[in-house]
Amino acid sequence: MIRAYSQRMLPPYYGFVQIAESDRARAVSFDGMGWDIQYLPDDGGGAGQKKRALGYALDRSYFPVAKVQRHQLTPYVFPSFLDASDITACIDDLVAFLSTAQFPFPAADNFEYWLLDGSDESPLALIFSCCDESQISTYPNCTAWTALPHSKMKVANTAMEKARSEPPVNDRFQRLVATRAGSKPRAAWFERRRDENNTFPGLLVREDWQDPVQHDLCQRYLSRKAPRLLMLQGLSHDERERLEIAARQYAVEVDQYFPLYPEVNDRQRMSAIRVEARLRRETPQTPKTDSSKVKTADTPFSKDMRILE
């Protein structure tokens, strides 16, 4: 029996990891294309199952035993103390499963840890998520939300912001969220339930900023993050539409993350974006000189809950 699921990579949110696991092995992918296959030895006391229950992010007992890249399997040399025949059988099972699997896998991290709004204690920004309630105690009591840093995702400042030597948009939006959380910030765990009426921010952070400058800062950050946010499952049609439009200028990233998009609103638009990405990759780079510099665009831009006491 192989269980296939995905979960968000946090904090900060920067995408999804795909996981296909059996009792003794798992295949892990960050792009739906290449897979690392890992094996969990049995210590004779059922430790494998107990360790697996801690979840992907917290478990470090697996041994890398193979990789799959472009449908090609490359086994590694196994440590002598491992059962080679059992490892081979596990690899074969996972490779056979992946050969017919549909990506992305359903998201399973429905236990979510949110920074709360300082005014009404509603969910403000997502900090952590996990797949099982038993994992909650392993996470720290953190009350700080972090934006994806400028070093990983550059959001261009305006000419006026550059003239004022303003910090990056990412840093300013992170401080904005912290201010909204209040001087004594609180966070809480929730479980998403489809039969309840409470809602979470669809793009993992509140967008209802009343001040025009704050609203603009929020939208610029989310627009720049659109290629990654399109990997989210459960977005409304309008949310996905906004993101697809914003992501057009970041074609290379869209093409990179496309295998993990659960839905597409406009397939013709998405095809055009991906064609542009391939043309960019095939176009030779012109060396930069003082008189001629290459101009490149920046790289890719309700749900229910139960609070856990």
Question: What are the pLDDT digits (tens) for 95-142?
Answer: 999 999 999 999 999 999 999 999 999 999 999 999 999 999 999 999
Asked if residue 262 has a cis previous peptide bond (ω within 30° of 0), the answer is no
Q: pLDDT category, 199, cuts 50, 70, 90?
A: confident
CA dist., res. 12 & res. 152, Å (int): 11
User: What confidence tens digit (pLDDT) does each residue in 236-274 have?
Assistant: 999 999 999 999 999 999 999 999 999 999 999 999 999
Q: pLDDT category, 198, cuts 50, 70, 90?
A: low
Q: Please choose, from the candidates 195, 173, 219, 192, the residue with its C-alpha nearest in 3D space to the C-alpha of residue 123.
A: 192
Instruction: Answer whether residue 280 shows pLDDT above 70.
Output: yes
* pLDDT for position 52: 44
E-assigned strand segments in the chain:
3-8, 16-21, 25-29, 35-39, 63-69, 72-75, 111-116, 123-130, 187-191, 306-307
Q: Which of 30-44, 161-175, 204-218 has the lowest mean pLDDT?
A: 30-44
Question: Which DSSP string corresponds to 270-293?
Answer: HHHHHHHHHHHHHSPPPPP-SS--
User: What confidence tens digit (pLDDT) does each residue in 234-244 have?
Assistant: 999 999 999 99
CA dist., res. 107 & res. 101, Å (int): 15
Torsion of CA 169, 170, 172, 175, to 10 degrees: 170
* pLDDT for position 51: 44
CA dist., res. 8 & res. 204, Å (int): 11
* pLDDT for position 122: 94
Q: Mean pLDDT across the stretch 195-206? A: 79
Q: Is 238 exposed, middle or buried (0-12, 13-18, 19+ CB in 10 A)?
A: exposed
Instruction: Answer whether residue 55 shows pLDDT above 90.
Output: no
Threshold 0.85, pTM exceeds:
no
User: What confidence tens digit (pLDDT) does each residue in 24-48 have?
Assistant: 999 999 998 999 999 998 765 444 4
Instruction: Answer whether residue 284 shows pLDDT above 80.
Output: no
CA dist., res. 231 & res. 235, Å (int): 9
Q: Please choose, from the candidates 200, 198, 245, 199, the residue with its C-alpha nearest in 3D space to the C-alpha of residue 222.
A: 245
